[in-house]
Structure 1
Amino acid sequence: MGTLGCSSVSVPGGGRFGAELIQEQAILDFYGTEEERAQSLKLLRSACRSLRPDRGLACYNLSVLYQSMGEKELAAEYSQRAKTSDPKDPLYAESVFQNSLSDFKPASENDRLDEGEQALKKAIQACKEGKKAEASGWISPLVSSGEISKETLSHGIFQECGIDSSVLATAKPNSLKPSLEYYKTLEKNHPYRKVWDLSGEFGRNPKTPSENPVTRSWKEFRISVSAKDLPGAKKHLSAFRKSLEDLSKDGQTSKQLALQLKKAAFLLLSEDSAYVRFKDLAKELSDKPGSNP
Protein backbone atom coordinates (compact mmCIF):
# COMPACT_ATOMS: atom_id res chain seq x y z
CA MET A 1 0.00 0.00 0.00
CA GLY A 2 1.63 3.24 -1.16
CA THR A 3 0.07 5.20 1.70
CA LEU A 4 2.11 3.31 4.30
CA GLY A 5 5.32 3.54 2.32
CA CYS A 6 5.70 0.15 0.67
CA SER A 7 8.90 0.08 -1.38
CA SER A 8 7.37 -1.84 -4.28
CA VAL A 9 4.06 -0.05 -4.88
CA SER A 10 3.63 3.35 -6.53
CA VAL A 11 0.74 5.80 -6.64
CA PRO A 12 -0.98 5.79 -10.05
CA GLY A 13 -0.10 8.70 -12.32
CA GLY A 14 -1.50 10.25 -15.45
CA GLY A 15 -1.58 8.91 -18.99
CA ARG A 16 -4.72 7.72 -20.75
CA PHE A 17 -5.95 6.02 -17.57
CA GLY A 18 -5.73 9.35 -15.76
CA ALA A 19 -7.43 11.19 -18.63
CA GLU A 20 -10.33 8.74 -18.61
CA LEU A 21 -10.76 9.10 -14.86
CA ILE A 22 -10.88 12.87 -15.19
CA GLN A 23 -13.57 12.57 -17.86
CA GLU A 24 -15.59 10.17 -15.74
CA GLN A 25 -15.53 12.72 -12.93
CA ALA A 26 -16.51 15.47 -15.38
CA ILE A 27 -19.55 13.45 -16.45
CA LEU A 28 -20.55 12.97 -12.81
CA ASP A 29 -20.15 16.70 -12.20
CA PHE A 30 -22.39 17.39 -15.21
CA TYR A 31 -25.30 16.07 -13.17
CA GLY A 32 -24.42 18.22 -10.16
CA THR A 33 -25.00 21.92 -9.65
CA GLU A 34 -25.18 24.47 -12.47
CA GLU A 35 -21.66 25.59 -11.63
CA GLU A 36 -20.39 22.00 -11.71
CA ARG A 37 -22.16 21.42 -15.02
CA ALA A 38 -20.55 24.49 -16.57
CA GLN A 39 -17.11 23.45 -15.30
CA SER A 40 -17.70 19.91 -16.58
CA LEU A 41 -18.50 21.11 -20.10
CA LYS A 42 -15.53 23.49 -20.04
CA LEU A 43 -13.16 20.69 -19.08
CA LEU A 44 -14.47 18.36 -21.78
CA ARG A 45 -14.37 21.09 -24.45
CA SER A 46 -10.77 21.82 -23.53
CA ALA A 47 -9.87 18.14 -23.84
CA CYS A 48 -11.76 17.81 -27.14
CA ARG A 49 -9.97 20.82 -28.63
CA SER A 50 -6.53 19.60 -27.57
CA LEU A 51 -3.96 18.03 -29.87
CA ARG A 52 -4.00 14.73 -27.96
CA PRO A 53 -4.54 11.68 -30.18
CA ASP A 54 -7.17 10.32 -27.77
CA ARG A 55 -9.21 13.55 -27.69
CA GLY A 56 -12.09 11.75 -29.41
CA LEU A 57 -13.35 10.37 -26.11
CA ALA A 58 -13.92 13.88 -24.76
CA CYS A 59 -15.67 14.91 -27.99
CA TYR A 60 -17.90 11.85 -27.85
CA ASN A 61 -18.80 12.48 -24.21
CA LEU A 62 -19.69 16.07 -25.06
CA SER A 63 -21.93 14.87 -27.87
CA VAL A 64 -23.80 12.56 -25.51
CA LEU A 65 -24.21 15.26 -22.87
CA TYR A 66 -25.40 17.87 -25.35
CA GLN A 67 -27.85 15.34 -26.78
CA SER A 68 -29.28 14.87 -23.28
CA MET A 69 -29.75 18.65 -23.07
CA GLY A 70 -31.58 18.75 -26.39
CA GLU A 71 -28.72 20.66 -28.03
CA LYS A 72 -28.86 18.74 -31.30
CA GLU A 73 -26.56 21.06 -33.20
CA LEU A 74 -23.80 20.81 -30.62
CA ALA A 75 -24.36 17.07 -30.24
CA ALA A 76 -23.87 16.60 -33.99
CA GLU A 77 -20.84 18.89 -33.98
CA TYR A 78 -18.98 17.01 -31.27
CA SER A 79 -19.91 13.58 -32.59
CA GLN A 80 -18.32 14.63 -35.89
CA ARG A 81 -15.23 15.85 -34.07
CA ALA A 82 -14.94 12.52 -32.30
CA LYS A 83 -15.10 10.68 -35.61
CA THR A 84 -12.57 13.05 -37.17
CA SER A 85 -10.11 12.30 -34.37
CA ASP A 86 -10.42 8.55 -34.97
CA PRO A 87 -12.30 7.66 -38.18
CA LYS A 88 -11.91 3.92 -37.52
CA ASP A 89 -13.65 3.94 -34.15
CA PRO A 90 -17.08 2.28 -34.62
CA LEU A 91 -18.56 4.03 -31.58
CA TYR A 92 -17.78 7.47 -32.98
CA ALA A 93 -19.10 6.49 -36.41
CA GLU A 94 -22.35 5.25 -34.88
CA SER A 95 -22.69 8.48 -32.92
CA VAL A 96 -22.43 10.53 -36.12
CA PHE A 97 -25.01 8.29 -37.78
CA GLN A 98 -27.47 8.58 -34.88
CA ASN A 99 -27.13 12.35 -34.81
CA SER A 100 -27.69 12.51 -38.56
CA LEU A 101 -31.12 10.95 -38.07
CA SER A 102 -32.35 14.10 -36.34
CA ASP A 103 -33.92 16.94 -38.28
CA PHE A 104 -30.74 18.98 -37.89
CA LYS A 105 -28.55 19.24 -40.95
CA PRO A 106 -24.86 19.26 -39.95
CA ALA A 107 -22.96 22.33 -41.01
CA SER A 108 -19.72 22.26 -42.93
CA GLU A 109 -16.52 21.82 -40.97
CA ASN A 110 -15.59 25.51 -41.10
CA ASP A 111 -19.09 26.53 -40.02
CA ARG A 112 -18.76 24.29 -36.98
CA LEU A 113 -15.57 26.03 -35.85
CA ASP A 114 -15.66 29.27 -33.88
CA GLU A 115 -13.24 32.08 -34.72
CA GLY A 116 -10.63 30.87 -32.27
CA GLU A 117 -10.71 27.34 -33.61
CA GLN A 118 -10.48 28.54 -37.19
CA ALA A 119 -7.45 30.65 -36.26
CA LEU A 120 -5.88 27.65 -34.54
CA LYS A 121 -6.50 25.49 -37.60
CA LYS A 122 -4.89 28.09 -39.87
CA ALA A 123 -1.91 28.41 -37.51
CA ILE A 124 -1.36 24.67 -37.60
CA GLN A 125 -1.57 24.66 -41.40
CA ALA A 126 0.89 27.56 -41.60
CA CYS A 127 3.31 25.67 -39.37
CA LYS A 128 3.04 22.59 -41.57
CA GLU A 129 3.93 24.76 -44.55
CA GLY A 130 6.87 26.29 -42.73
CA LYS A 131 5.29 29.76 -42.56
CA LYS A 132 6.47 30.75 -39.09
CA ALA A 133 5.49 34.43 -39.32
CA GLU A 134 1.99 33.63 -40.57
CA ALA A 135 1.51 31.02 -37.86
CA SER A 136 2.64 33.50 -35.20
CA GLY A 137 0.15 36.01 -36.58
CA TRP A 138 -2.74 33.60 -36.13
CA ILE A 139 -1.52 32.49 -32.70
CA SER A 140 -0.94 35.96 -31.23
CA PRO A 141 -4.62 36.92 -30.65
CA LEU A 142 -5.31 33.46 -29.24
CA VAL A 143 -2.51 33.96 -26.73
CA SER A 144 -3.88 37.40 -25.81
CA SER A 145 -7.36 36.00 -25.22
CA GLY A 146 -6.01 33.09 -23.17
CA GLU A 147 -7.30 30.45 -25.59
CA ILE A 148 -3.79 29.14 -26.17
CA SER A 149 -1.55 28.34 -23.21
CA LYS A 150 2.22 28.30 -22.85
CA GLU A 151 2.11 24.50 -22.57
CA THR A 152 0.40 24.20 -25.97
CA LEU A 153 3.07 26.34 -27.63
CA SER A 154 5.89 24.46 -25.91
CA HIS A 155 5.05 21.04 -27.33
CA GLY A 156 4.24 19.33 -30.59
CA ILE A 157 3.85 21.15 -33.87
CA PHE A 158 4.12 24.66 -32.43
CA GLN A 159 7.41 23.85 -30.73
CA GLU A 160 8.74 22.42 -33.99
CA CYS A 161 7.41 25.41 -35.92
CA GLY A 162 9.29 27.90 -33.76
CA ILE A 163 6.60 30.44 -32.88
CA ASP A 164 7.89 34.01 -32.52
CA SER A 165 9.55 34.52 -29.12
CA SER A 166 7.56 37.70 -28.45
CA VAL A 167 4.35 35.66 -28.72
CA LEU A 168 5.73 32.95 -26.46
CA ALA A 169 6.72 35.54 -23.87
CA THR A 170 3.12 36.69 -23.45
CA ALA A 171 1.61 33.20 -23.25
CA LYS A 172 0.26 32.25 -19.83
CA PRO A 173 0.38 28.81 -18.21
CA ASN A 174 -2.74 26.69 -18.45
CA SER A 175 -4.95 27.43 -15.45
CA LEU A 176 -6.39 23.92 -15.65
CA LYS A 177 -3.83 21.26 -14.74
CA PRO A 178 -5.13 17.80 -15.76
CA SER A 179 -2.74 16.04 -13.38
CA LEU A 180 -3.93 18.14 -10.45
CA GLU A 181 -7.56 17.49 -11.37
CA TYR A 182 -6.76 13.79 -11.51
CA TYR A 183 -5.16 13.86 -8.06
CA LYS A 184 -8.12 15.81 -6.68
CA THR A 185 -10.37 13.06 -8.01
CA LEU A 186 -8.20 10.39 -6.42
CA GLU A 187 -8.25 12.17 -3.08
CA LYS A 188 -11.97 12.91 -3.22
CA ASN A 189 -12.79 9.25 -3.80
CA HIS A 190 -10.00 7.68 -1.76
CA PRO A 191 -11.50 4.94 0.46
CA TYR A 192 -9.15 5.75 3.36
CA ARG A 193 -9.80 9.47 3.39
CA LYS A 194 -11.84 9.11 6.58
CA VAL A 195 -8.99 7.57 8.57
CA TRP A 196 -5.79 8.75 6.89
CA ASP A 197 -4.36 12.21 6.22
CA LEU A 198 -3.93 12.41 2.44
CA SER A 199 -2.20 15.80 2.41
CA GLY A 200 1.16 14.09 2.00
CA GLU A 201 0.09 11.71 -0.74
CA PHE A 202 0.16 11.97 -4.55
CA GLY A 203 3.58 13.60 -4.72
CA ARG A 204 2.85 16.40 -2.26
CA ASN A 205 4.98 17.36 0.74
CA PRO A 206 3.02 18.93 3.60
CA LYS A 207 4.78 21.77 5.42
CA THR A 208 3.41 20.89 8.85
CA PRO A 209 3.12 17.57 10.72
CA SER A 210 -0.15 15.74 10.29
CA GLU A 211 -2.82 16.24 12.93
CA ASN A 212 -4.14 12.76 12.23
CA PRO A 213 -2.70 10.55 15.03
CA VAL A 214 -2.65 7.42 12.85
CA THR A 215 -0.79 9.12 10.02
CA ARG A 216 1.53 11.05 12.33
CA SER A 217 2.58 8.02 14.41
CA TRP A 218 3.25 5.93 11.30
CA LYS A 219 5.38 8.64 9.72
CA GLU A 220 7.32 9.04 12.96
CA PHE A 221 7.81 5.27 12.96
CA ARG A 222 9.24 5.44 9.44
CA ILE A 223 11.61 8.21 10.49
CA SER A 224 12.85 5.99 13.32
CA VAL A 225 13.29 3.12 10.87
CA SER A 226 15.38 5.33 8.58
CA ALA A 227 17.51 6.37 11.57
CA LYS A 228 17.83 2.71 12.67
CA ASP A 229 16.37 3.77 16.01
CA LEU A 230 14.80 0.57 17.36
CA PRO A 231 13.48 2.01 20.68
CA GLY A 232 11.96 4.98 18.84
CA ALA A 233 10.44 2.73 16.19
CA LYS A 234 8.87 0.53 18.86
CA LYS A 235 7.47 3.58 20.65
CA HIS A 236 5.87 5.06 17.54
CA LEU A 237 4.55 1.71 16.36
CA SER A 238 2.85 1.30 19.72
CA ALA A 239 1.30 4.77 19.26
CA PHE A 240 0.20 3.74 15.77
CA ARG A 241 -1.58 0.69 17.13
CA LYS A 242 -3.20 2.71 19.92
CA SER A 243 -4.44 5.28 17.38
CA LEU A 244 -5.98 2.50 15.29
CA GLU A 245 -7.73 1.12 18.36
CA ASP A 246 -9.16 4.55 19.14
CA LEU A 247 -10.22 4.96 15.53
CA SER A 248 -12.08 1.65 15.62
CA LYS A 249 -14.49 3.12 18.15
CA ASP A 250 -15.83 5.66 15.62
CA GLY A 251 -18.11 3.19 13.88
CA GLN A 252 -18.14 0.05 11.77
CA THR A 253 -16.64 1.70 8.68
CA SER A 254 -13.76 3.19 10.66
CA LYS A 255 -13.27 -0.14 12.41
CA GLN A 256 -12.90 -1.98 9.10
CA LEU A 257 -10.55 0.63 7.65
CA ALA A 258 -8.43 0.59 10.80
CA LEU A 259 -8.20 -3.19 10.60
CA GLN A 260 -7.05 -3.00 6.98
CA LEU A 261 -4.39 -0.42 7.86
CA LYS A 262 -3.20 -2.63 10.66
CA LYS A 263 -2.96 -5.65 8.35
CA ALA A 264 -1.11 -3.61 5.73
CA ALA A 265 1.40 -2.42 8.32
CA PHE A 266 1.85 -5.98 9.59
CA LEU A 267 2.57 -7.26 6.08
CA LEU A 268 5.03 -4.45 5.41
CA LEU A 269 6.99 -5.22 8.56
CA SER A 270 6.88 -8.95 7.89
CA GLU A 271 7.64 -9.00 4.17
CA ASP A 272 8.98 -5.69 2.84
CA SER A 273 12.77 -5.46 2.51
CA ALA A 274 12.71 -1.82 3.62
CA TYR A 275 11.81 -2.99 7.14
CA VAL A 276 14.02 -6.07 7.33
CA ARG A 277 15.89 -4.82 10.43
CA PHE A 278 12.60 -4.21 12.21
CA LYS A 279 10.79 -7.37 11.17
CA ASP A 280 10.41 -8.56 14.75
CA LEU A 281 8.28 -5.52 15.56
CA ALA A 282 5.45 -7.02 13.51
CA LYS A 283 4.39 -8.88 16.64
CA GLU A 284 3.52 -5.49 18.18
CA LEU A 285 0.58 -5.39 15.77
CA SER A 286 -0.68 -8.86 16.66
CA ASP A 287 -3.49 -9.42 19.13
CA LYS A 288 -1.87 -12.71 20.07
CA PRO A 289 1.83 -13.64 19.99
CA GLY A 290 2.77 -15.35 16.73
CA SER A 291 -0.50 -14.51 14.97
CA ASN A 292 -1.62 -12.07 12.31
CA PRO A 293 -3.62 -8.95 13.25
Structure 2
Amino acid sequence: MNRILIALFVATAMLSCQTEKPTEIIVIGTLHQPEPNFNPDILFGILEDVKPDLILRELDSSAFTPDFKYINVDLNSNETQASAMYVEKYPDTQLRPYEFEGRNEYRINIGSRPTDGLTTKLLDSLNKVNLLSTDEAAIVNKYQALIEPLIVLASKSPENFNNPATDSICAKRQYYQYQMLRQVTDKRDEFATTFHTKPDGQDISYRDGYRLAGDFWDLRNQTMAKNIMAVSKQNQGKRIVVLCGFMHRYYILSELKRLGKDKNIVLKEFYEI
Protein backbone atom coordinates (compact mmCIF):
# COMPACT_ATOMS: atom_id res chain seq x y z
CA MET A 1 0.00 0.00 0.00
CA ASN A 2 2.81 2.38 0.88
CA ARG A 3 4.41 1.78 -2.51
CA ILE A 4 1.15 2.58 -4.26
CA LEU A 5 0.77 5.82 -2.29
CA ILE A 6 4.35 6.84 -3.07
CA ALA A 7 3.83 6.08 -6.75
CA LEU A 8 0.64 8.15 -6.80
CA PHE A 9 2.41 11.03 -5.03
CA VAL A 10 5.31 11.00 -7.52
CA ALA A 11 2.94 10.81 -10.49
CA THR A 12 0.90 13.72 -9.13
CA ALA A 13 4.03 15.82 -8.55
CA MET A 14 5.30 15.12 -12.05
CA LEU A 15 1.93 15.99 -13.57
CA SER A 16 1.87 19.21 -11.55
CA CYS A 17 5.32 20.21 -12.88
CA GLN A 18 4.31 19.41 -16.43
CA THR A 19 1.10 21.45 -16.25
CA GLU A 20 2.54 24.45 -14.37
CA LYS A 21 2.20 27.59 -16.43
CA PRO A 22 5.57 28.57 -17.94
CA THR A 23 7.15 31.97 -17.49
CA GLU A 24 7.18 33.77 -20.83
CA ILE A 25 10.00 36.18 -21.63
CA ILE A 26 9.73 38.40 -24.70
CA VAL A 27 12.91 40.33 -25.49
CA ILE A 28 12.10 43.34 -27.67
CA GLY A 29 15.03 45.09 -29.32
CA THR A 30 14.36 48.81 -29.57
CA LEU A 31 15.58 52.09 -30.95
CA HIS A 32 15.93 54.41 -27.99
CA GLN A 33 14.88 57.61 -29.74
CA PRO A 34 11.73 58.11 -31.85
CA GLU A 35 11.98 57.44 -35.57
CA PRO A 36 9.19 57.19 -38.18
CA ASN A 37 9.43 53.38 -38.12
CA PHE A 38 9.75 53.06 -34.33
CA ASN A 39 8.23 55.53 -31.93
CA PRO A 40 6.33 55.44 -28.61
CA ASP A 41 2.99 54.78 -30.29
CA ILE A 42 4.38 51.83 -32.24
CA LEU A 43 6.00 50.35 -29.14
CA PHE A 44 2.82 50.95 -27.12
CA GLY A 45 0.90 49.04 -29.78
CA ILE A 46 3.33 46.13 -29.46
CA LEU A 47 2.90 46.13 -25.69
CA GLU A 48 -0.88 46.12 -26.10
CA ASP A 49 -0.62 43.06 -28.34
CA VAL A 50 1.73 41.24 -25.94
CA LYS A 51 -0.07 42.22 -22.70
CA PRO A 52 2.87 41.79 -20.30
CA ASP A 53 2.58 41.39 -16.55
CA LEU A 54 5.99 43.02 -16.14
CA ILE A 55 8.06 45.39 -18.27
CA LEU A 56 11.81 45.33 -17.63
CA ARG A 57 13.84 48.38 -18.59
CA GLU A 58 17.50 48.77 -19.54
CA LEU A 59 17.92 51.01 -16.49
CA ASP A 60 19.35 50.54 -13.02
CA SER A 61 17.66 51.19 -9.68
CA SER A 62 18.58 54.90 -9.70
CA ALA A 63 15.93 55.44 -12.40
CA PHE A 64 13.13 54.35 -10.05
CA THR A 65 11.55 55.37 -6.78
CA PRO A 66 11.26 52.65 -4.09
CA ASP A 67 7.80 51.80 -5.45
CA PHE A 68 9.15 51.63 -9.03
CA LYS A 69 7.94 54.92 -10.44
CA TYR A 70 10.22 56.67 -12.94
CA ILE A 71 12.74 59.28 -11.82
CA ASN A 72 15.89 60.48 -13.61
CA VAL A 73 14.92 58.94 -16.94
CA ASP A 74 14.97 60.18 -20.51
CA LEU A 75 11.36 61.30 -20.85
CA ASN A 76 11.67 61.44 -24.64
CA SER A 77 12.81 57.86 -25.15
CA ASN A 78 10.56 55.36 -26.87
CA GLU A 79 10.75 52.97 -23.94
CA THR A 80 9.89 55.55 -21.26
CA GLN A 81 6.94 57.02 -23.11
CA ALA A 82 5.48 53.71 -24.30
CA SER A 83 5.85 51.93 -20.94
CA ALA A 84 4.42 54.92 -19.05
CA MET A 85 1.41 54.97 -21.36
CA TYR A 86 0.95 51.24 -20.91
CA VAL A 87 1.18 51.31 -17.12
CA GLU A 88 -1.25 54.23 -16.99
CA LYS A 89 -3.77 52.21 -18.99
CA TYR A 90 -2.99 48.91 -17.25
CA PRO A 91 -1.92 49.90 -13.70
CA ASP A 92 -1.41 46.30 -12.54
CA THR A 93 1.61 46.06 -14.85
CA GLN A 94 4.92 46.22 -12.99
CA LEU A 95 8.00 48.17 -14.10
CA ARG A 96 11.42 46.87 -13.05
CA PRO A 97 15.09 47.68 -13.80
CA TYR A 98 17.63 45.08 -14.93
CA GLU A 99 20.68 47.13 -15.93
CA PHE A 100 24.20 46.78 -14.50
CA GLU A 101 24.16 49.07 -11.46
CA GLY A 102 26.07 52.33 -11.96
CA ARG A 103 27.06 51.39 -15.51
CA ASN A 104 28.31 54.77 -16.69
CA GLU A 105 30.15 55.69 -13.49
CA TYR A 106 31.77 52.25 -13.43
CA ARG A 107 33.05 52.60 -17.00
CA ILE A 108 34.42 56.08 -16.39
CA ASN A 109 36.13 55.06 -13.15
CA ILE A 110 37.90 52.01 -14.62
CA GLY A 111 38.90 53.98 -17.72
CA SER A 112 37.04 51.99 -20.38
CA ARG A 113 35.21 55.20 -21.21
CA PRO A 114 36.10 57.40 -23.04
CA THR A 115 39.08 55.25 -24.16
CA ASP A 116 36.70 53.01 -26.15
CA GLY A 117 35.57 55.86 -28.37
CA LEU A 118 39.01 57.46 -28.49
CA THR A 119 40.51 54.16 -29.60
CA THR A 120 38.11 53.67 -32.50
CA LYS A 121 38.69 57.28 -33.58
CA LEU A 122 42.45 56.70 -33.62
CA LEU A 123 41.98 53.48 -35.57
CA ASP A 124 39.88 55.33 -38.13
CA SER A 125 42.46 58.12 -38.43
CA LEU A 126 45.31 55.65 -38.98
CA ASN A 127 43.25 53.80 -41.56
CA LYS A 128 42.38 56.95 -43.50
CA VAL A 129 46.04 57.91 -43.94
CA ASN A 130 47.02 54.32 -44.87
CA LEU A 131 49.22 53.69 -41.84
CA LEU A 132 47.66 50.31 -41.06
CA SER A 133 48.93 47.10 -42.57
CA THR A 134 46.78 45.32 -45.15
CA ASP A 135 45.48 42.86 -42.55
CA GLU A 136 44.84 45.60 -39.98
CA ALA A 137 42.99 47.74 -42.51
CA ALA A 138 40.86 44.76 -43.52
CA ILE A 139 39.73 44.29 -39.91
CA VAL A 140 38.87 47.96 -39.45
CA ASN A 141 37.06 48.14 -42.79
CA LYS A 142 35.06 45.01 -42.01
CA TYR A 143 34.06 46.40 -38.63
CA GLN A 144 32.90 49.65 -40.20
CA ALA A 145 31.05 47.84 -43.00
CA LEU A 146 29.08 45.65 -40.61
CA ILE A 147 27.10 48.64 -39.33
CA GLU A 148 25.63 49.35 -42.78
CA PRO A 149 23.12 46.45 -42.97
CA LEU A 150 22.09 47.19 -39.39
CA ILE A 151 21.32 50.81 -40.29
CA VAL A 152 19.11 49.57 -43.11
CA LEU A 153 17.33 47.02 -40.91
CA ALA A 154 16.83 49.58 -38.13
CA SER A 155 14.96 51.83 -40.58
CA LYS A 156 12.32 49.16 -41.22
CA SER A 157 9.49 47.76 -39.11
CA PRO A 158 10.42 46.32 -35.68
CA GLU A 159 10.20 42.72 -36.91
CA ASN A 160 13.21 43.45 -39.11
CA PHE A 161 15.51 44.15 -36.17
CA ASN A 162 13.95 41.54 -33.90
CA ASN A 163 14.80 38.23 -35.51
CA PRO A 164 17.63 35.67 -35.53
CA ALA A 165 19.11 36.92 -38.82
CA THR A 166 19.59 40.46 -37.50
CA ASP A 167 20.79 39.07 -34.16
CA SER A 168 23.57 37.22 -35.99
CA ILE A 169 24.70 40.42 -37.75
CA CYS A 170 24.74 42.25 -34.40
CA ALA A 171 26.77 39.43 -32.86
CA LYS A 172 29.32 39.57 -35.68
CA ARG A 173 29.58 43.34 -35.52
CA GLN A 174 30.16 43.32 -31.77
CA TYR A 175 32.67 40.48 -32.15
CA TYR A 176 34.64 42.65 -34.56
CA GLN A 177 34.36 45.63 -32.24
CA TYR A 178 35.56 43.94 -29.06
CA GLN A 179 37.68 41.05 -30.33
CA MET A 180 38.99 41.71 -33.83
CA LEU A 181 39.85 45.39 -33.33
CA ARG A 182 41.87 44.34 -30.29
CA GLN A 183 44.12 42.36 -32.61
CA VAL A 184 45.14 45.74 -34.02
CA THR A 185 45.25 47.73 -30.78
CA ASP A 186 47.19 44.99 -28.94
CA LYS A 187 49.90 45.05 -31.61
CA ARG A 188 50.37 48.70 -32.51
CA ASP A 189 52.49 50.96 -30.30
CA GLU A 190 50.20 53.99 -30.77
CA PHE A 191 47.63 52.42 -28.45
CA ALA A 192 50.16 51.57 -25.76
CA THR A 193 51.75 55.04 -25.74
CA THR A 194 48.60 57.21 -25.89
CA PHE A 195 46.90 57.81 -22.56
CA HIS A 196 43.73 59.03 -20.91
CA THR A 197 43.64 60.28 -17.32
CA LYS A 198 40.99 58.62 -15.14
CA PRO A 199 39.03 60.46 -12.43
CA ASP A 200 41.45 59.11 -9.78
CA GLY A 201 44.35 60.85 -11.57
CA GLN A 202 45.88 57.62 -12.88
CA ASP A 203 46.73 57.31 -16.58
CA ILE A 204 45.45 54.41 -18.64
CA SER A 205 46.60 53.57 -22.16
CA TYR A 206 44.11 53.36 -25.00
CA ARG A 207 45.14 49.70 -25.33
CA ASP A 208 44.29 48.84 -21.74
CA GLY A 209 41.14 50.95 -21.73
CA TYR A 210 39.87 49.24 -24.85
CA ARG A 211 40.53 45.82 -23.37
CA LEU A 212 38.46 46.83 -20.35
CA ALA A 213 35.68 48.06 -22.65
CA GLY A 214 35.52 44.64 -24.31
CA ASP A 215 35.49 42.89 -20.95
CA PHE A 216 32.71 45.16 -19.76
CA TRP A 217 30.57 44.40 -22.83
CA ASP A 218 30.53 40.78 -21.69
CA LEU A 219 30.09 41.61 -18.01
CA ARG A 220 27.25 44.03 -18.65
CA ASN A 221 25.21 41.72 -20.86
CA GLN A 222 25.79 38.73 -18.61
CA THR A 223 24.75 40.76 -15.58
CA MET A 224 21.60 42.00 -17.30
CA ALA A 225 20.61 38.44 -18.21
CA LYS A 226 21.17 37.29 -14.61
CA ASN A 227 19.02 40.17 -13.36
CA ILE A 228 16.25 39.21 -15.79
CA MET A 229 16.41 35.63 -14.56
CA ALA A 230 16.18 36.83 -10.95
CA VAL A 231 12.99 38.77 -11.76
CA SER A 232 11.55 35.78 -13.62
CA LYS A 233 12.21 33.52 -10.63
CA GLN A 234 10.19 35.87 -8.45
CA ASN A 235 7.37 36.00 -11.03
CA GLN A 236 6.93 32.44 -12.21
CA GLY A 237 4.14 31.90 -14.68
CA LYS A 238 4.03 35.59 -15.65
CA ARG A 239 4.59 37.20 -19.04
CA ILE A 240 7.67 39.43 -18.96
CA VAL A 241 8.69 41.93 -21.63
CA VAL A 242 12.36 42.94 -21.70
CA LEU A 243 13.09 46.19 -23.54
CA CYS A 244 16.69 46.60 -24.72
CA GLY A 245 18.64 48.37 -27.40
CA PHE A 246 18.53 45.94 -30.30
CA MET A 247 22.33 45.58 -30.40
CA HIS A 248 22.10 43.85 -27.00
CA ARG A 249 19.33 41.45 -28.00
CA TYR A 250 21.50 38.64 -29.35
CA TYR A 251 23.65 38.50 -26.23
CA ILE A 252 20.75 38.68 -23.77
CA LEU A 253 18.82 35.97 -25.62
CA SER A 254 21.87 33.71 -25.72
CA GLU A 255 22.43 34.12 -21.99
CA LEU A 256 18.75 33.59 -21.17
CA LYS A 257 18.75 30.36 -23.17
CA ARG A 258 21.79 29.18 -21.24
CA LEU A 259 20.58 30.26 -17.81
CA GLY A 260 17.02 29.10 -18.45
CA LYS A 261 17.94 25.58 -19.53
CA ASP A 262 15.77 22.99 -17.77
CA LYS A 263 13.66 25.76 -16.22
CA ASN A 264 10.01 26.36 -16.99
CA ILE A 265 10.76 29.39 -19.16
CA VAL A 266 9.68 30.06 -22.74
CA LEU A 267 11.35 32.70 -24.91
CA LYS A 268 9.05 34.22 -27.52
CA GLU A 269 9.10 36.97 -30.13
CA PHE A 270 6.54 39.73 -29.75
CA TYR A 271 5.04 38.82 -33.12
CA GLU A 272 4.52 35.21 -32.01
CA ILE A 273 2.05 36.09 -29.24
Q: Same fold (TM over 0.5)?
A: no
Alignment TM-score, normalising by the size of structure 1: 0.22
Higher relative helix content = 1
User: Taking CA–CA contacts closer than 8 Å with sequence separation of 6 or more, which of the two structures ends up with the larger relative contact order?
Assistant: 2
Higher relative strand content = 2
